[in-house]
């Protein structure tokens, strides 16, 4: 985590950690630690995984500890994207005892949340191993944490769909209705969009797919199609656009979906329903 090599824009990290610490500290601060831990005491601890998983979020962990104690140090055993076994250490941290205790929950909340996402993503990625399909995320993210959750998806081996409403065009049903059909919708988006913006259209039938393909979208979102319709759709596209499957994707269905030949499978659950990876921070005996 040396200077100038950020995975994430630095301001995002600093702001998110500051906000989380402010949320936990309020005006009175950590009244338990101030009462019980002597001024000036030093401590060291280990961040460990209680279950196996994929690590993500260490940049935020470091930011949390150093926000309270600029001299705190962190030595990483399993970096972002790495697999940690149950009971194994992820990193060792040392610094002021008070600062470590006060920052602990914020650091673990970020790490557990992001590692949970990376871990679930990896499970999906592993399920489709050997197929052409790649696992991608959606905009169904936790408000305020999108950049971090999308980083976690990448740590788990997934790819990111668009980051927001601003960086790609995705025409959905409601847009098509409002525009008066696929053709006017696509024509209007082409006139409006910058030349560096890709365009994707959602279709739910093969007829809609055909209509869309005539206008050369970069990608087509095949929403909630049965497996045989997906297979037919991929054949119809024939490489003229990226194909993305969505809807009713879970760990049981994802491999069959991949076998239809789609390029991409989007999974909202990666970011909206991944359970926490259980991580903890334990002081090590000194002396």
Q: Which positions are annotated as active-site residues? A: 105, 140, 172, 202, 223
Residue 32 and residue 25: Cα distance in Å, rounded? 11
Stretch that binds a second copy, among 122-130, 185-193, 208-216, 250-258 (CB under 8 A): 185-193
Chain residues 248-277 in contact with a second copy, contact rule CB under 8 A:
263-264, 268-269, 272-273, 275-276
* Burial readout 87-123 (b: 16 or more C-beta within 10 A, e: otherwise): eebbbbbbbbbbbbbbbbebbbbbbbbbbbbbbbbbb
Does 216 help bind a second copy (rule: CB under 8 A)? no
Residue 94 φ/ψ, nearest 5 degrees? -140, 150
Q: Does 238 bind a second copy (CB under 8 A)?
A: no
Show contacts with a second copy in window 50-69 (CB under 8 A): 67-69
Region of 78-86, 124-132, 196-204, 207-215 interacting with a second copy (CB under 8 A): 196-204
Select from 84-92, 123-131, 142-150, 250-258 the region that touches a second copy (CB under 8 A): 142-150
**Nearest-CA neighbor of 141 among 263, 274, 24?**
274
Give the x-and-dash track for 3-32 against a second copy (CB under 8 A): xxxxxxxxxx---x-xxxxxxxxxxxxxxx
Q: CA 201, CA 213: separation in Å to the nearest integer? A: 9
* CB-CB neighbours of 263 under 10 Å: 19
Residue 138: closest CA among 161, 167, 166, 155 = 161
Is residue 112 involved in binding a second copy (CB under 8 A)?
yes
- Please report how close the Cβ of residue 158 comes to a second copy at its closest, in angstroms: 10
Of 117, 169, 212, 254, the residue at the interface with a second copy (CB under 8 A) is 169
């Amino acid at each position: 985590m040396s200077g100038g090599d950020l995975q994430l824009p630095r301001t995002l990290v600093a702001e998110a950690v500051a906000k989380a610490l402010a949320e936990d500290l309020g005006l009175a601060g950590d009244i338990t630690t101030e009462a019980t831990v002597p001024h000036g005491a030093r401590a060291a601890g280990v961040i460990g995984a209680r279950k196996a998983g994929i690590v993500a979020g260490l940049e935020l962990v470091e930011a949390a500890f150093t926000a309270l104690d600029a001299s705190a140090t962190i030595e990483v055993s399993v970096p972002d994207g790495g697999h940690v076994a149950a009971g194994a250490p992820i990193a060792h941290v040392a610094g002021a005892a008070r600062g470590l205790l006060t920052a602990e929950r914020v650091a673990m909340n970020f790490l557990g949340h992001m590692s949970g996402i990376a871990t679930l993503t990896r499970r999906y990625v592993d399920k489709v191993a050997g197929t052409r399909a790649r696992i991608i995320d959606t905009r169904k993210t936790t408000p305020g944490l999108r950049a971090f959750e999308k980083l976690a998806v990448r740590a788990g081996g997934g790819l990111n769909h668009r980051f927001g409403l601003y960086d790609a065009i995705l025409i959905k049903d409601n847009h098509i209705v409002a525009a008066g059909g696929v053709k006017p919708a696509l024509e209007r988006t082409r006139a409006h969009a910058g030349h560096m913006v890709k365009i994707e259209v959602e279709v739910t039938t093969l007829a809609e797919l055909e209509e869309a393909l005539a206008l050369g979208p970069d990608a087509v979102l095949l929403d909630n199609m049965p497996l045989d319709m997906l297979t037919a759709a991929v054949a119809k596209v024939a490489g003229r656009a990226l194909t993305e499957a969505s809807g009713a994707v879970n760990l049981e269905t994802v491999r069959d979906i991949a076998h239809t030949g789609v390029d991409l499978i989007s999974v909202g659950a990666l970011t909206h329903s991944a359970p926490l990876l259980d991580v903890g921070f334990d002081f090590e005996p000194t002396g």
